[in-house]
Amino acid sequence: MNIPPPVRSDEKYNESLIEVQSRDDIPEAWRGTPIESFIMAQNFGWPIVSTGKVELLIATCIEFRYALPVPKMYAYVIRRASGRVIGSEFSVGYTLSQGVRYLVMIGHNDCGMSKVYEKAPHVVQAFVEQGWDHEIAEEYVSKQAERHSISDELDALRTEYIRLTNVFRKLVIAPLFVCLHDSRLYIPKWYPEEAKNAPDAPKVPAELIRNLP
């Protein structure tokens, strides 16, 4: 698997991402929080010093071309294909009970989940090699592919950001995008607008909770 070209040389991303070139590019709401420390560590190599208590929850893709810049005793991490938290809401709840107040969710370019249907036959084959019946493996992969597939990495991040601001009303959520070429973090241009649209009401509708996967 290759490292894709930098997002800054891609017209699509140039129009949709803000490069964090200094602290001034970090939104006001994230300043002085572990979100700022995380961005500064990733983009500028600032050291993260563990205080011995958990500061952050990080949700990102399983992607092996991206390594997180965090020491032990600093963050809980949920890594799932595509980076979406769908199906891991209980894990989020647990981290909240342990003191987490900030969530950083990181999308990335060239995500395998944007090509999941193309890769599906290989995944089926991998299960078959593990002793799965071919038909059952196909059935399983087709069901899961539907759930994991994303058509565009940045749109998927946006949809998940909106969903999470509805499910977790007090958690401060920072949607970020990492360039696999140089591991630099960017902020989606849609963030300020979507942050303004986040629900004000403190109560989460019961239906939304009951329908969690």
Near Zn ion by CB under 5 A: residue from 36, 55, 63, 160:
63
Q: Per rule CB under 5 A, is residue 111 in the interface with Zn ion? A: yes
The one among 41, 61, 105, 137 contacting Zn ion by CB under 5 A: 61
Give the per-residue contact string, 4-43, with Zn ion (x = CB under 5 A; - = no). Answer: ----------------------------------------
> 175-185: b or e for each residue (b if 16 or more CB lie within 10 Å)?
bbbbbbbeebb
Place of tokens 């200094």: 22
- Binding window for Zn ion (CB under 5 A); candidates: 24-32, 54-62, 137-145, 195-203: 54-62
Question: Among 99, 97, 57, 53, which Cα is nearest to 79's?
Answer: 57
The burial of 80, by beta-carbon neighbours within 10 Å (0-12 exposed, 13-18 middle, 19 or more buried), is given as: middle
> What does the alpha-carbon distance between residue 166 and residue 164 come to, in Å, rounded to a whole number?
5
Q: Which is nearer to Zn ion, 62 or 209 (CB)?
A: 62
Give the interface segment with Zn ion, choosing from 38-46, 57-65, 181-189, 190-198 (CB under 5 A): 57-65
Distance of CA 39 to the CA centre of its chain: 14
- Number of residues engaging Zn ion in binding (CB under 5 A): 3
* Shorter beta-carbon distance to Zn ion: residue 37 or 60: 60
Per CB under 5 A, residues contacting Zn ion are: 61, 63, 111
